[in-house]
Amino acid sequence: MTSTTLERPVTDYYPSRIDAEPKLLDRIDPVAHGNVPGPLSAEQLSDYEENGFLSFQGLFSENEMKPYIDELERLKESEAGSKSPHTITEPDSGEVRSVFAIEEHNEVLRQICYHPRLVGIARQLLGGEVYIHQSRINFKPGFKGKEFYWHSDFETWHQEDGLPRMRTVSCSLALTPNTPNNGPLMLIPGSHKKFLSCIGQDHYKDSLKKQEFGVPDDENLARMVREGGIVAPTGPVGSVTFFECNTMHGSNSNITPDPRSNIFMVFNSVENTLVEPFCGLAPRPDFIGKRGEVEAIPYEPET
């Protein structure tokens, strides 16, 4: 099954960056999208509905992960100082920070991105066939790994890429141990139940200071944390966290000697392909958000 980029006008159910003050809007989309069979139990689906994420300790064994860990090390060397648009490097050292579109440009990593153990969960959560909207390796090296501030992926993907609805799930797969100290992913349980719009680019504070769009405000973040707390899933190599596209998340910097490197995949429903960005700007590059014709990932359950 394939789908193409939607050209028709689409109602903006989640407006953002247009008002002088942030707003909490009701979510109109389901969290789990259907009754497609899959590996998740009814209890796990209920947890996902309530919290906005699921974590699995050692979903893959370290032996299963070895080819991908080896490829991680190879990429760190081969992509250092790269000028490729798919590779983001640290401005001072040239050390690799992220490599995008890994399933398109790396045969080894494509195998894990399309692994039925992951695709089966994504299909069950999204209610049907899926494709990869975005993929990357995130390197968070020891002593130098930078933080990622709190954000909802959906707010960015909706505004800047034209993702119409909340029918998308992210998957973070550990290539190194994720510990409480080396900058693990942090999530705010329950934050996916409301859409937090961000202030508009015409707001005077943005025009007089450095412009940073899509950043949630402190007051609403504090309220979300008071209501849901903060959870930081940790685990050995091969651990996996799936989190809903509107779940508020971020991570601290890594000042430990131990790197934290993950493969990051975004599964999107083939019924939720991109339209024109809702921010009115030109679309971001395809390796950030896949546009045009998409093809569902072939799926056969493991036996």
**Segment 21-34, tens digit of pLDDT:** 999 999 999 999 97
Over residues 140-152, mean pLDDT: 89
Q: How confident is the model at residue 89 (pLDDT cuts 50, 70, 90)?
A: confident
Q: What is the pTM of this model?
A: 0.92
Per the CB < 8 A criterion, the answer to whether 297 and 119 are in contact is: yes
- Residues of 78-115 as b/e, b for ≥16 C-beta within 10 angstroms? ebeeeeeebbbbeeeeebbbbbbbbbeebeebeebbeb
Over residues 105-127, mean pLDDT: 97
Mean residue pLDDT of the chain comes to 89
- pLDDT for the residue numbered 153: 96
Higher pLDDT, 262 or 87: 262
| Structural domains of the chain, with CATH | 16-267 (2.60.120.620)
Residue 207 in this model has a pLDDT that exceeds 80: no
- pLDDT for the residue numbered 145: 84
**Of 92-96, 114-118, 126-130, 295-299, which range is least confident?**
92-96
- pLDDT for the residue numbered 203: 36
- pLDDT for the residue numbered 98: 86
Higher pLDDT, 7 or 269: 269
**Furthest C-alpha separation in the chain:** 59
Per the CB < 8 A criterion, the answer to whether 220 and 161 are in contact is: no
Strands 24-26 and 194-196: antiparallel
- pLDDT for the residue numbered 92: 64
Residue 69 in this model has a pLDDT that exceeds 50: yes
- CA nearest 50: which of 210, 231, 207? 231
Give per-residue pLDDT as tens, 171-196.
999 999 999 999 999 999 999 999 99
Q: How confident is the model at residue 8 (pLDDT cuts 50, 70, 90)?
A: very low
- pLDDT for the residue numbered 206: 36
Q: How confident is the model at residue 80 (pLDDT cuts 50, 70, 90)?
A: low
- Residues of 286-296 as b/e, b for ≥16 C-beta within 10 angstroms? ebbbbbeebeb
**Of 8-17, 76-85, 172-181, which range is least confident?**
76-85
